[in-house]
């Protein structure tokens, strides 16, 4: 065993006083955040956010901050479709430059004619045209690997979800589930031609297809985030007049010279939305709808702005992100459908569990793929070099 657990346990024991102090500070900040959440004026706070310059990403408020919505009834006849993905990144130690994406699909029909369909679709990209995004107006290019491959896969998942929704039986309400966020955070500071390809050409087209389906039937497209770490609602409290204390919101000008703990808003610092709503929501209840103020969304998502709510699923507070064009009936379907799926999945949506199982590329699969790649390239009498580092991991000398 490479890790010395005895030494690690000793270090953990030494760290416990600090961990206890952090937990105590968190509880005190949470208590203050809950108090201000109850008294902050949402209309004034939204006006301050819109006119100000905040360091924090604060939620766009369109109504009340507080208030829990009880779970609505779920239509007995409905369809739940879910998509998830996994990938093998470009590996410089491999026999050939390529990446592999596996998309898992699940369609579960409930009601009088129950039916289940589960499948996966792998996509191997090894040709030069598929391994990079290129600027049509110049010579710039971006290799599809790392963060960019993750965004490429995320867009593929939404495209696959559009396919699944369009294939759902006519006349039935459909809940479409994704895992993770609808916001492509990796675009921050990226090249414009990458955004144009991923967002303008592909993501927006897939969202257009989904919105067209929403005009034909009750449809909820919801991206599920388990144990979210977001603090956008708490950040709205941070810039409220009663917490911020400044006449206008300008974090750099007002508090740019102050250290953490010296700013007025630090009284609620470190509190997540999930921690706040764990106090506010009864099991089964959801929060009000909030809107993302991310510049990625507001500047590039056009008619497909992102809204979100939090829901107490019993085991945890989950975050659900949806397109802002979702109808009230669609929001109710997302709320009720999520609770039903979470109950069936013992804490996590069943359809997403099954989609993950279809999509996952486990360690054994990755090793088999690496061998298959090497053997296939070698069988064609092509050079199949692998690095000495890769070789050392396969061979044990001691």
pLDDT tens sequence across 162-209: 999 999 999 999 999 999 999 999 988 788 999 999 999 999 999 999
Interval 241-288: pLDDT, tens: 999 999 999 999 999 899 988 999 999 999 999 999 999 999 999 999
Instruction: Determine, yes or no, domain membership for 7.
Output: no
Token code pair at residue 128: 């030069």
Instruction: Determine, yes or no, domain membership for 368.
Output: no
Contacts of 341 (CB under 8 A, 6+ apart): 80, 175, 177, 349, 350, 351, 352
Instruction: Determine, yes or no, domain membership for 296.
Output: yes
Instruction: Determine, yes or no, domain membership for 57.
Output: no
- Nearest in space to 142 (alpha carbons), one of 189, 110, 95: 189
Beta-strand relationship, 132-134 and 141-143: antiparallel
pTM of the model: 0.92
Q: How many domains does the chain have?
A: 1
Instruction: Determine, yes or no, domain membership for 268.
Output: no
Kindly report the backbone phi and psi dihedral angles of residue 42, in degrees, each rounded to the nearest multiple of 5, phi listed first. Answer: -65, -35
Rg (CA), the chain: 24
Does residue 44 surpass a pLDDT of 80? yes
Token code pair at residue 391: 């070789």
CA-to-CA distance for 175 and 83, rounded, in angstroms? Answer: 11
What is the per-residue pLDDT for 158? 98
Burial class (CB in 10 A: 0-12, 13-18, 19+), 68: middle
Average pLDDT over all residues of the chain: 93
CA-to-CA distance for 24 and 296, rounded, in angstroms? Answer: 35
Does residue 384 surpass a pLDDT of 70? no
Instruction: Determine, yes or no, domain membership for 40.
Output: no
Interval 356-370: pLDDT, tens: 999 999 999 999 888
What is the per-residue pLDDT for 190? 81
Instruction: Determine, yes or no, domain membership for 172.
Output: yes
Name the residue range of residue 141's domain: 78-226+288-311+318-363
Separation in Å, CA 193 to CA 127, 136, 185, 198, 297: 20, 8, 16, 9, 17
Instruction: Determine, yes or no, domain membership for 398.
Output: no
Beta pairing partners, 132: 143
């Amino acid at each position: 065993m490479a890790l010395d657990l005895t030494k690690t346990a000793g270090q953990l024991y030494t760290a416990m006083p600090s961990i206890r102090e952090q937990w105590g500070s968190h509880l005190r900040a949470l208590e203050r955040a809950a108090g201000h959440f109850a008294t902050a004026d949402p209309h004034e706070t939204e006006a301050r956010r819109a006119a100000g310059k905040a360091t924090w990403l604060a939620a766009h408020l369109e109504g009340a901050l507080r208030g829990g919505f009880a779970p609505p009834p779920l239509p007995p006849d409905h369809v739940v479709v879910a998509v998830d993905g996994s990938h093998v990144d470009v590996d410089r130690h491999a026999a050939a430059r390529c990446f592999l994406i596996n998309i898992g699909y699940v369609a579960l029909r409930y009601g009088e004619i129950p039916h289940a369909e589960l499948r996966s679709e792998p996509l191997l990209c090894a040709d030069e045209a598929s391994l990079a995004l290129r600027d049509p107006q110049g010579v710039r290019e971006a290799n599809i690997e790392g963060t960019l491959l993750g965004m490429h896969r995320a867009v593929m998942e939404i495209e696959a979800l559009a396919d699944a929704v369009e294939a759902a039986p006519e006349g039935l309400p459909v809940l479409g589930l994704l895992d993770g966020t609808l916001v492509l955070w990796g675009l921050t500071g990226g090249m414009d031609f990458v955004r144009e390809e991923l967002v303008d050409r592909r993501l927006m087209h897939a969202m257009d297809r989904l919105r067209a389906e929403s005009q034909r039937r009750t449809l909820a497209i919801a991206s599920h985030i388990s144990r979210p770490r977001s603090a956008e609602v708490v950040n709205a409290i941070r810039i409220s007049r009663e917490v911020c204390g400044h006449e206008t919101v300008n974090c750099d000008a007002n508090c740019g010279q102050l250290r953490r703990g010296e700013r007025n808003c630090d009284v609620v610092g470190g509190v997540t939305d999930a921690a706040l709503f764990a106090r506010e929501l009864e099991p089964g209840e959801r929060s009000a709808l909030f809107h993302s103020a991310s510049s990625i969304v507001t500047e590039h998502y056009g008619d497909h702005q992102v809204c979100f709510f939090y829901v107490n699923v019993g085991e945890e507070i989950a975050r659900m992100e949806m397109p802002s064009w979702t109808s009230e009936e669609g929001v109710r379907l997302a709320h009720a459908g999520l609770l039903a799926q979470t109950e069936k999945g013992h804490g996590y949506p069943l359809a997403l569990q099954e989609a993950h199982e279809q999509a996952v590329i486990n360690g054994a699969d990755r090793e088999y793929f690496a061998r298959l790649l090497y053997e296939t390239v070698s069988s064609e009498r092509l050079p199949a070099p692998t690095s000495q580092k890769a070789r050392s991991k396969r061979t044990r000398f001691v």
